[in-house]
Amino acid sequence: MTHPIVGLVGRKRTGKDTVAIRLVQRQGFRRLAFADRLRDAALALNPIVVPREPAWATLRLGDIVGSVGWETAKDEYPEVRRTLQELGNGIRALDPDFWLRPVIAEARASWRPIVITDVRYPNEADAVERAGGVLVRITRPGGDKSDDHESETALEDRETQMTIANDRLLEHLFEKVDALAAIVRSV
């Protein structure tokens, strides 16, 4: 491996994107995500999303994401997260590696270190490891464990090479991320 590939594993809202931002901004990593192409496909489809209230209102996915961004859209409009999960699973049922092939190809071809922000399924974890990458689990005490969708639970028992506990102040998390970057560069 000519450069590090780090695959982040963990439930939603544990800090995976925060870890990735630090690696990109301070350590020169390039961010990739298996879900980027899924989001592009969902935006191209641009389905109607019915918000919680008022029940009579309807919005298009593209309008919501354009207004508040993906993370807020997934949190404030449960139908957005459900749409992504169902679209992703529908394509995965036809071709389990559909979403991961282009990301792994990009990671292998990159001259910069890579962080993949959303390793959620066993085949994705296997692909990262086959590409010479390391899996890093991000944990957060008291995190949301209410979502039992397969994308949140499929890797709960999977061993990873490292774990970062997001359990203190942001500067402590950043210290751990900087140490992670030094470790993976030295391998």
Give the residue extent of every domain in the chain.
5-34+100-186, 37-94
pTM: predicted TM-score of the whole model, two decimal places: 0.89
Model pLDDT for residues 146-179, shown as the tens digit of each residue: 778 787 878 899 999 999 999 999 999 999 999 9
| pLDDT score for 1 | 45
Q: Which residues contact 178 (CB under 8 A, 6 or more apart)?
A: 22, 26, 27
Contact 32, 116 (CB under 8 A): yes
Judged against a pLDDT cut of 80, whether residue 12 lies above it is answered with: yes
HSE (side-chain half, CA atoms, 13 Å) at 119: 30
Tell me the residue type at 159.
E
The single residue listed with the structure tokens 């140490």 is 179
Q: Which residues contact 86 (CB under 8 A, 6 or more apart)?
A: none
Residue 124 pLDDT level (bands cut at 50, 70, 90):
very high
The single-letter DSSP state of residue 131 is T
Q: For 5-34+100-186, which CATH class?
A: alpha beta
Cβ neighbours, 10 Å, residue 170? 11
Model pLDDT for residues 139-148, shown as the tens digit of each residue: 999 766 777 8
DSSP string, 53-110: SSTT--EEHHHHHHHH-HHHHHHH-HHHHHHHHHHHHHHHHH-TTTTHHHHHHHHHH-
Q: Which residues contact 55 (CB under 8 A, 6 or more apart)?
A: none
Handedness of CA 151, 152, 155, 159 (dihedral sign): positive
